[in-house]
Amino acid sequence: MEYYSTNRQSPPVSLQEAVLRGLAPDRGLYMPQRIGTLPKAFFNNIAQMSLCEISYAVASILFGDDIESDVLKDIVYDTLNFDIPLRHITDDRYCLELFHGPTLAFKDVGARFMARMLSHFNKQSGDNRCVNVLVATSGDTGSAVANGFLGVPGVRVFVLYPQGKVSKIQEAQFATLGQNVTALEVNGTFDDCQALVKKAFLDQDLNEAMMLTSANSINVARFLPQSFYYFYAYAQLARREQDTDNIVVAVPSGNFGNLAAGLIAKRMGLPIKRFIAANNRNCVFYDYLLTGKYEPRPSIATIANAMDVGDPSNFARILDLYHRSHNEICADISGCTYTDEQISQTIADTWRDNGYLLDPHGAVAYRAISELTHPGEVCVALETAHPAKFKGTVEHITGEQVEIPERLKKFLNGEKQTTKISSGFHTFKKFLLSTL
Ligand SMILES: *Cc1c(COP(=O)(O)O)cnc(C)c1O
């Protein structure tokens, strides 16, 4: 099946090309030409199926025409070697815990899947060179991508981060790994790191010498697998004999890849009644729902910082899915925007009343299902990060210590291995070429 660009100014491509390219040449985002649906029998059996079985069935509909079934099965089963449990909090409210992967955040799912699919397509392309993934990070994306790609053959990762500006825990998660992961400590800001990566993608010498790609949610191989766990949430509700005709899912959103993947799941036949796009004070999507106008603006720093996005890249995919119709979008998605005070209050209240500790991102979604749902609806908030990842913030709010899981502690014991570079492009380019 072919993938087209949301800008429709460059030709449709194969899945392989969409994955190797990332962004389309016209700077649009790739979308599948056709979104298949799952048969009724699948939903009759889903309560008995495991996360991997469900994900493989969904993956077969999405990717089955373009990749051999045994290869696809390996990719899915290697990616999802952790659980995504649905926790009952109170009344009809649940949290889907997406944070049991290696870096304790939901990006692990997409990053791990993409690493394996990219490795497969690179091998298949017959080009004997390895693919070089460049990521600029202010903390979280770098760790998910670095760990997702760690040890995957044929792929190398370069993580650029601003020296002294990420937390110790975040740094440990990508700067201690070694193997095919190189951490570059840039003497500058996050924006400098991002500028270096952007320049590299446009540099002719570099692109001739080495294959470069990015690993953000623009890539279809990172974006589409995020639809799997919406089906698994449904399966767990069916297992509990909940009313599966009235499911509402709130998604804490930044670049909107996670929510857009949920919309794909719905398009594939998953009966989710509606979605709530839950935002912190960065609320361009909320404003779009109110006014029909999309007006990107600079991001504002909040305590849910992985959602501090002022121009969400996957908005283009949402518009495209709904034929650019504001009415159709509003029929499936409602929105909300919360301040840091409201997010903190939700963490404090849920801890006190229900004994459940939310992280600041999940708290945005949880507040949404507490305020914006109706009696009879079965409500799921996606919990995108483990609260220990935001230990300082969460402890300040609850006044209690947060235990750091073993997996995070292990990173902290690793030895830091980084290369320091200036923020000038010339040094970065020379460094990349020296690794060939
Ligand atoms: C990236 C991230 C988000 C936002 O996800 P998008 O797909 O960009 O909308 C939410 N929560 C956490 C913890 C994240 O790391």
Dist CA 91 CA 330 (whole Å): 27
Q: Is 303 in the pocket of ligand 1 (CB under 6 A)?
A: no
Q: Residue 87 has what pLDDT? A: 98
Atom of ligand 1 nearest to the CA of 226: 7
Whole-angstrom CA distances from 4 to 1, 14, 60 are: 10, 9, 19
**Number of structural domains, the chain?**
1
> Which of 135, 255, 333 is the pocket-test mutation for ligand 1 (most atoms within 8 Å of CB)?
255
Count CB-CB contacts under 10 A for residue 164: 8
Q: Is 214 in the pocket of ligand 1 (CB under 6 A)?
A: no
Report yes or no on 95 lying in a domain.
yes
Report yes or no on 187 lying in a domain.
no
Report yes or no on 301 lying in a domain.
yes
Report yes or no on 167 lying in a domain.
no
Beta carbons within 8 Å of 233's beta carbon, 6+ residues apart: 84, 86, 94, 96, 247, 249, 380
Report yes or no on 303 lying in a domain.
yes
Bridge-based pairing state of the strands 93-97 and 131-136: unpaired
Ligand 1 center from residue 384 Cα (angstroms): 7
- pLDDT mean by block of 10 residues, the chain; 436 residues: 96 95 90 97 97 98 97 98 97 97 95 95 89 88 93 95 88 95 94 89 92 88 97 98 95 96 98 98 98 94 92 95 98 98 98 98 98 96 96 96 92 94 96 95
- What strands lie across the sheet with 418-422, from one edge to the other? 211-213, 131-136, 155-162, 181-187, 418-422
**Which residue is associated with the tokens 């649906």?**
37
Dist CA 226 CA 270 (whole Å): 14
Q: Choose the catalytic residue: 73, 107, 391, 416.
A: 107
Q: Is 307 in the pocket of ligand 1 (CB under 6 A)?
A: yes
Q: Is 382 in the pocket of ligand 1 (CB under 6 A)?
A: no
Q: For position 268, which CATH number holds?
A: 3.40.50.1100
Active-site residue, 107 included: yes
Q: Residue 222 has what pLDDT? A: 95
Burial label for 308, CB within 10 Å (0-12, 13-18, 19+), is: middle
Atom of ligand 1 nearest to the CA of 309: 8
Dist CA 256 CA 223 (whole Å): 10
Report yes or no on 345 lying in a domain.
yes
Q: Is 385 in the pocket of ligand 1 (CB under 6 A)?
A: yes
Residues in the chain: 436
Q: What is the dihedral of CA 105, 111, 113, 118, to 10 degrees?
A: 180
Report yes or no on 16 lying in a domain.
no
| Residue 382 backbone phi and psi in degrees, to 5 | -80, 125
| Residue 112 contacts residue 221 (beta carbons within 8 Å) | no
Dist CA 72 CA 76 (whole Å): 6
Global confidence as pTM: 0.95
> Which of 166, 337, 384, 391 is the pocket-test mutation for ligand 1 (most atoms within 8 Å of CB)?
384
Ligand 1 center from residue 255 Cα (angstroms): 7
Q: Is 360 in the pocket of ligand 1 (CB under 6 A)?
A: no
Atom of ligand 1 nearest to the CA of 253: 9
Q: Is 361 in the pocket of ligand 1 (CB under 6 A)?
A: yes
Alpha carbon nearest to ligand 1 atom 2, residue: 306
H or E element that contains 287:
helix 284-291
Q: Residue 139 has what pLDDT? A: 76
Report yes or no on 273 lying in a domain.
yes
Whole-angstrom CA distances from 341 to 240, 344, 360 are: 34, 5, 11
Q: Residue 165 has what pLDDT? A: 85
- Structural domain boundaries enclosing 272: 81-106+223-398
